[in-house]
Amino acid sequence: MPLHPTAVSALDGYLERRRHSSTASDYLFIAPKGGRLPHQTVTKTFLRLARQAGLRSGPGTPGPRIHDLRHTFAVRALEAWPQGGSPVGWRMRALSTYLGHRNVADTCWYLHATPHLMRGVADACERFLEGGAR
């Protein structure tokens, strides 16, 4: 499961309360008066929670950024994909969809090399070379 059980429980509770509200919105998290949450609100909340968790010190200090969550999700999703399953192109299109990208090239910016992913690339190259150039 991609989310910790406590996160699933919290989201389930939020979605249940959300179903009983009269606010109709396509956004998952909405502002008190409906509509999308302002970017500044999301950023401030993330920084406050990161400080409470001990991941950041005071203002202006280095630490995780909210966008880092997307990068980590993209890499971990590819690492968790079963080996020998669907072709890489299909995996990338699925990942692009999850991230809300229209173009697969936009998704590539979220990826970085990890030992697990590099092993998969090396294995694929070896299989290709063993089969000969096509």
What are the angstrom distances between the C-alpha of 110 and each of 71, 72, 94, 97, 114?
A: 5, 8, 14, 13, 13
Write down the domain spans for the chain.
5-52, 66-131
Tally the residues of the chain: 134
- Provide the pLDDT confidence category of residue 86 given band limits of 50, 70 and 90: low
Q: How far apart are CA 86 and CA 29, in angstroms?
A: 33
pLDDT digits (tens, 9 = 90+) for 20-56: 877 778 888 888 887 889 999 999 999 999 999 999 8
DSSP states of 59-91: TT-----HHHHHHHHHHHHHHHSPTTSS-HHHH
23 neighbors 15 (Cβ within 8 angstroms): no
Residue 134 confidence (pLDDT) above 50: no
Q: Is 30 helix (H, G, I), strand (E, B) or coil?
A: strand
pLDDT digits (tens, 9 = 90+) for 52-75: 999 988 777 888 888 888 888 888
Residue 132 confidence (pLDDT) above 60: no
